[in-house]
Amino acid sequence: MLIKIKKSYDLSENDVTPEQLFRARRRFLNIGAASLSGAALSGIAGGIAGSILSAPARARAAGAPLATSKWSGSTDEAPTDFESITTYNNFYEFGTSKEAPRFNAEGFVTSPWTVEVAGLAKNTGTFDVWDLIDRNKLEERIYRHRCVETWSMVVPWVGVALADIIKRLEPQSSAKYVAFQTLFDPERMPGQKRAVLQWPYVEGLRLDEAMNPLALLAVGVYGQELPPQNGAPIRLVVPWKYGFKGIKSIVKIEFSENEPPTSWNISAPNEYGFYANVNPNVSHPRWSQAKERRIGEFLRRETLMFNGYADEVASLYSNMDLEKYF
């Protein structure tokens, strides 16, 4: 496949997008998505959806608008522009550069999509993603995002509190952790043909972390369904932890008694721990975590303890040595 890969010097990281421009762009994108999904619906009504829509139109129709309510805890920092959020990605299943996923994930089909719930819970089984997530209860939550590589963004996610889903699944009292798994399908995720990580990508949280009101299962960004490169149709967002905890395109959720393995920890245990809390005082073995580069800004910022969410989450770790449990 021939793909156009942007060179890093093409990225407009240093261009400050004027607020009004990005609002206008956002309106345009929403209208575009709405009319496209309208076309898709009339196609389905005629029973010929698959044949009349070109592949790119189908892919874009998947970014249907989502109705959301505002959540009171959003940061008032300026959201990173839609363009950067959806073109500067980490998603190794679709390539290891920042630029590859948006091209390699184009046309990745995320409907229908099921999520298996397993392990120590009452309500195990296989659920359609839209039975797990109630479309009428979606919130827009604007969170800071801090990658372990030291870049950061501000992202207007759409989703539901992970805690609400977990309560419905009714974990047993013996469950102490919850584990997540990404789809394994090398034909659809070509990056899985190379052993850059052990596939499928796996992640996990301690159950009390998962129950923290900030932990989010996201299905959208900027008021529309997630594009595939951002982890469609459902991904985890844990804003006080490094971005790699935010596992994408989830197909399995499992409750367990013991700490589950996690992909980056398997790959380099001395560099990436299970907890991965954002901490400016604990360096990665190969670089400092004290500062970060906010996409769209020129000067580096100070990184904040727990990515600025200490009031909400510090109590989860009050008895822990954060250098040992990094």
Ligand X SMILES: Nc1nc2c(c(=O)[nH]1)N[C@H]1C(S)=C(S)[C@@H](COP(=O)(O)O)O[C@H]1N2
Interface mask (CB under 6 A) for ligand X, residues 262-291, using x and -? Answer: ------------------------------
Kindly tell me which of 89 and 265 has the beta carbon lying closer to ligand X. 89
**139: which strand partners?**
69, 159
Residues 135 to 194: which contact ligand X by CB under 6 A?
A: 147, 182
Task: Verify binding: residue 209, ligand X, rule CB under 6 A.
Answer: no
Q: 199 touches which of Mo ion, ligand X, none (CB within 5 to 8 A by kind)?
A: none
Task: Verify binding: residue 92, ligand X, rule CB under 6 A.
Answer: yes
Task: Verify binding: residue 108, ligand X, rule CB under 6 A.
Answer: no
Task: Verify binding: residue 248, ligand X, rule CB under 6 A.
Answer: yes
Q: Report the residue closest to ligand X, judged by CB.
A: 243
Residues 32 to 61: which contact ligand X by CB under 6 A?
A: none
- Taking CA atoms, 264 is separated from 10, 210, 275, in Å, by 29, 19, 11
Kindly tell me which of 120 and 183 has the beta carbon lying closer to ligand X. 183
CA 234 to chain centre: 8
Minimum distance, C-beta of residue 222 to ligand X, in the bound complex (Å): 12
Minimum distance, C-beta of residue 44 to ligand X, in the bound complex (Å): 29
Kindly tell me which of 120 and 178 has the beta carbon lying closer to ligand X. 178
Task: Verify binding: residue 244, ligand X, rule CB under 6 A.
Answer: yes
The residues binding ligand X (CB under 6 A) are 89-93, 147, 182, 201, 230-231, 243-244, 246-248
